[in-house]
Amino acid sequence: MIRDPFNIHRNPASGLAIIRTAATRAATDLGEKAVEASINAIEKSKQAVDDMAFSIPKNVPSFSNPQRQLEDRVWGNGGRSSNFLNPDRNSLPMYKDKPYAYPPSQRSRPIWRRKRVIGVFFLVVIFLYHFGGFSKQHDTFTSRPSWSWLKSESGANVDWIERREHVVDAFKVSWDSYHRYAWGHDEFHPITKKGRQMVPHGMGWIIVDALDTMILMNLTSRVSQAREWISKYLSYDQDHDVNTFETTIRMLGGLLSAHYLSNEFPQLAAQKDDDPGAPGEDLYLEKAKDLADRLISAFDSPSGIPYASVNLAKYEGLISHADGGASSTAETTTLQLEFKYLAKLTGEKYFWDKAEKVMKVVDDNGAEGGLVPIYIYAEDGKFRGENIRLGSRGDSYYEYLIKQYLQTSKQESIYLEMWDEALQGVRKHLVTYTEPSGYTIIGERPEGLEKPLSPKMDHLVCFMPGTIALGATGGLTEAAAKKLPTWTKKNEDDMRLARELMQTCWGMYKWMATGLAPEITYFNIADPPLLESAPHNPPLQFDPDANAEWRKDFTVHSNDVHNLQRPETVESLFYMWRITGERKYREWGWEMFKSFMNYTALDDEGGFTSLSNANTIPPVTKDNMESFWLAETLKYFYLLFSPNDLLPLDSVVINTEAHAFPRFQMSPLFSTGWERKPRDKDGKIIEHVH
C-alpha cells in the first residue's frame, strides 16, 4: 500500500504526477514511435492467428421492426439523460445506465403535417421494399454462425481452458473492432461502425472499463494500446457533467483494479516500466487520484449524500435534473468500495470519511425491514417516495452492504448487520413463488411495503443469487464454510434462496427465443402472493418443449425484450460455481455464452452488439456495445471457466462493475465512525421521548 506518494491531492490540477508524466513523455517521444510500430506488428501477427481460430458469424437485424423503433425512442440516447426537461439528443450525453421513460415528443403538430410525414414514410417503405432495401440488410446476416465448437456437446471431459479461450477470442474481436472503428470514443456502435464521445475529448469509457479484463486475460499488446492512450490522451479536466455513480464504478473502479492487478500479478500482461515509451508505473493510480479529487465534490451537499452528477473541470456537484432533484439511492451507496480503497492506497482520510458518512445518513432514515426507497435527496438526506425494489436504482445498495463488510476483512460488523436485516426484509416483503411451477422471485413494492407486491424482476436483480451466496460463506466454498462453528441454519437457508433465485434467473434466459434474457420479466403469482415460508417445488430442468408448463410462470412484455449484454446472471453463476462447486452453473454459463455468440456477433469481425429484441430469431439488433460487455460480462465468463485460484473469492472483493480490489485491514487511520440508531424488530428507529 502506498500513501499519496506524490501528494498530488493538494494541487489536483498540476501535481507532481503531471510533471512526471510530462517529463516521461518528453524523454521518450522518439522511443514511443518505435514501440508503437512493434506493437502494431505484434497485433497484426496475433490477429492473423486469431483469424484462424475465430471467424465471425453473420446475423440478421431488422431495422423495420416496430419494436426496434419503440426501443430506439426510449433508449435512443443510450439510456442517458442530457437534460430531463429538454432532452437534446445532439448534445454530449451524461451517461446513465437507466432508461428514462420519458415519452416521445408531445409537441402538437398540425394534422396535415403529420399526414404528410406518414405519407412520405410509406412511400419510402414501398420504395425500399420494391428495390430490395430490406432484403439487402438480411443478405448480410445469417441467423446462426457455423463455428464447429458451438455445436459441441457437453460431455464428462470438458476442457474448460479451451472454452475459456473462446471467451478470450470473443473479447479480442470486440476490442479490435472498437479499436478499428471507434478508438478513443466513449461509445461504440458496431453496426454503423461509429464512436461517440460523452464528454468533449472522451473519458476512456470503454478503454478504462475494459482494461483489467485484458490484464486478467494476459492480452499484453492490447493492454499496451490502452495504457498508451491513457497516458497520452486521458484527461479529466473537461468542462462537462458526468454521472457520479457510473463514473466512479467504471472509471475510478477500472483504474484502481488495473493498479491492483498489475501490482499483484505482475506476470499478467506484463508492462516493463523502464521500457522506452512506457508511462510511469503509477499511471493508473495517478489518474484515479485526479478523477477522485473531482468526483468527491459530489459529496459536498448539505446532507453529505452525493449529488447525481459532477462537472469534472469545475469540481462541482450537480443536483439531478430529474426525479424532483433526488439522487438514486443505489447510486449514492455504491461509491464506498472505490473511495475506501483509494483512501487506503493514498492515506487520504477524507475519501474514506465522505463515503462512509453517506451510509449513516441513509441508515438514519430507519427504513423498515432494511429496505430502502430508490430515491434520496442530497439536500436533506431524506428518502423520496416509497418505491422499493432490488432492480434499477435499488440494486447495488444491498450489494455494497455485504461487500463493504468483506472489503475491510469483516472488521465493520455494522454492514453485516445491515445486510442481514435487509435480506430478512427481502424474504418477508419481496420474495414469493410463481404459479403453476413454484419458482422463487424477488418482486417490487412500488408504493411501499403496505401496498401490493408487483411480480416484476429486472435482469439487474440477478446479482442477488451470487451475492447471497457470497454473504453466506464470506467467499469460502460452501463445504469449507460449513465446517466453521459460525455456520448456522440461517446460512443454510441463504444458500437455498441463492440456489432457487439462480434457477429463476437462468429461466429468464431459457424462456427467450435466442436464449438471452430480456431486460425485465414478469411472473404469474397467486393473489395474495405466497409467503416465503410457503411450500414450493419447482422442476429442476427447463423442458425445451414450446408448450412446457413452466413457461406459464414467465411473461415478457414487448417493451422489455431487449438484451443489453448485461452481466448479472453470469456474475451470479460465477459466484455459485466457485462457492457450491456444482458443475451445472458452469454448463449454464457455457450455454449462455454460446447464445451470445450465436445471436449477437456481427459480420466481418465487427464485434458484438446489444439486441432490441432477443425474443425473435433472427433477433433485432440495437447497434451498441456496452462497456460492461468487456468489463463484466466477458470477464465473468472468463472467470467462470478459469481455475478457482484466479482471484480467490476469500481475498478479493469485486465492485459492481466487476473491477477487483483486495480485501484489507483498516489501519488506525480509518474507522466506521458511526453507530446505528436503536430500532424495533421491524427496523424502525425508536425515537427517544424527552
> Is the Cβ of residue 590 or residue 628 nearer to ligand DMJ in the bound state?
628
**Catalytic-labelled residue, pool 519, 532, 568, 605:** 519
> Closest Cα to residue 179, out of 195, 164, 192, 161?
195
Coil, strand or helix at 560: helix
**113 Cβ contact list (under 8 Å, min separation 6):** none
- Residues binding ligand DMJ: number (CB under 6 A): 9
Q: Residue with C-alpha cell 446472471? A: 569
Query: Distance between the two ends of the chain, CA-based, in angstroms?
Result: 48
Helix (H) or strand (E) run with residue 194 in it: strand 194-196
Smallest gap from residue 329 Cβ to ligand DMJ (A)? 13
Would residue 535 be called left, alpha or beta, if left means φ above 0 and alpha means ψ between -120 and 50 degrees? Answer: beta
> Is the Cβ of residue 12 or residue 254 nearer to ligand DMJ in the bound state?
254
Smallest gap from residue 442 Cβ to ligand DMJ (A)? 16
Smallest gap from residue 331 Cβ to ligand DMJ (A)? 10
- Please select the residue that binds ligand DMJ; options are 560, 657, 662, 683, rule is CB under 6 A: 657
Helix (H) or strand (E) run with residue 384 in it: strand 383-384
**486 Cβ contact list (under 8 Å, min separation 6):** none
- The burial of 64, by beta-carbon neighbours within 10 Å (0-12 exposed, 13-18 middle, 19 or more buried), is given as middle
Contacts with ligand DMJ in 292-321 (CB under 6 A)? none
> Is the Cβ of residue 317 or residue 567 nearer to ligand DMJ in the bound state?
567
Smallest gap from residue 460 Cβ to ligand DMJ (A)? 6
**668 Cβ contact list (under 8 Å, min separation 6):** none
Smallest gap from residue 451 Cβ to ligand DMJ (A)? 26
- Please select the residue that binds ligand DMJ; options are 32, 71, 97, 331, rule is CB under 6 A: 97
Residue 519 a catalytic site member: yes
Can you read off the three cell numbers belonging to residue 253? Answer: 473502479
d(CA 557, CA 550): 17
Contacts with ligand DMJ in 379-398 (CB under 6 A)? 396
Smallest gap from residue 286 Cβ to ligand DMJ (A)? 24
For 413-425, give the secondary structure using H, E and C.
HHHHHHHHHHHHH
> Closest Cα to residue 474, out of 401, 569, 410, 408?
410
Which residues are paired to 327 by β-bridges? 376
Contact of 634 with 607, CB cutoff 8 Å = no
Contact of 454 with 445, CB cutoff 8 Å = yes
Smallest gap from residue 656 Cβ to ligand DMJ (A)? 4
Which residues are paired to 633 by β-bridges? none
Smallest gap from residue 459 Cβ to ligand DMJ (A)? 7
Can you read off the three cell numbers belonging to residue 98? Answer: 437507466
Contact letters for ligand DMJ, residues 395-434 (x by CB under 6 A): -x--------------------------------------
For residue 99, the Cα-to-chain-centroid distance in whole angstroms is 14
Contact letters for ligand DMJ, residues 151-170 (x by CB under 6 A): --------------------
> Is the Cβ of residue 278 or residue 335 nearer to ligand DMJ in the bound state?
335
> Is the Cβ of residue 147 or residue 509 nearer to ligand DMJ in the bound state?
509
> Is the Cβ of residue 293 or residue 657 nearer to ligand DMJ in the bound state?
657
**123 Cβ contact list (under 8 Å, min separation 6):** none
> Is the Cβ of residue 6 or residue 375 nearer to ligand DMJ in the bound state?
375
Residues 486/488/493/496 CA torsion (nearest 10 deg)? 60
Contacts with ligand DMJ in 538-597 (CB under 6 A)? 566-567
> Is the Cβ of residue 494 or residue 571 nearer to ligand DMJ in the bound state?
571
Smallest gap from residue 608 Cβ to ligand DMJ (A)? 15
Residues in the chain: 690
For 237-274, give the secondary structure using H, E and C.
CCCCEEEHHHHHHHHHHHHHHHHHHHHHCCCCCCCCCC
Contact of 431 with 438, CB cutoff 8 Å = no
For residue 221, the Cα-to-chain-centroid distance in whole angstroms is 25
Smallest gap from residue 64 Cβ to ligand DMJ (A)? 28
> Is the Cβ of residue 97 or residue 187 nearer to ligand DMJ in the bound state?
97
Smallest gap from residue 463 Cβ to ligand DMJ (A)? 7
> Is the Cβ of residue 17 or residue 216 nearer to ligand DMJ in the bound state?
216
> Is the Cβ of residue 336 or residue 491 nearer to ligand DMJ in the bound state?
336
State yes or no: residue 656 binds ligand DMJ (CB under 6 A): yes
Strand order in the sheet with 554-555: 456-458, 520-523, 554-555
Coil, strand or helix at 554: strand
Hey, what amino acid is at 283? L
Residue nearest to ligand DMJ (CB): 656
Backbone angles phi, psi at 183, to 5 degrees: -55, 130
Contact letters for ligand DMJ, residues 434-463 (x by CB under 6 A): --------------------------x---
Contact letters for ligand DMJ, residues 7-46 (x by CB under 6 A): ----------------------------------------
Catalytically active residues, by annotation: 519
The residues of the shown chain that bind ligand DMJ, judged by CB under 6 A, are: 97, 396, 460, 566-567, 628, 632, 656-657
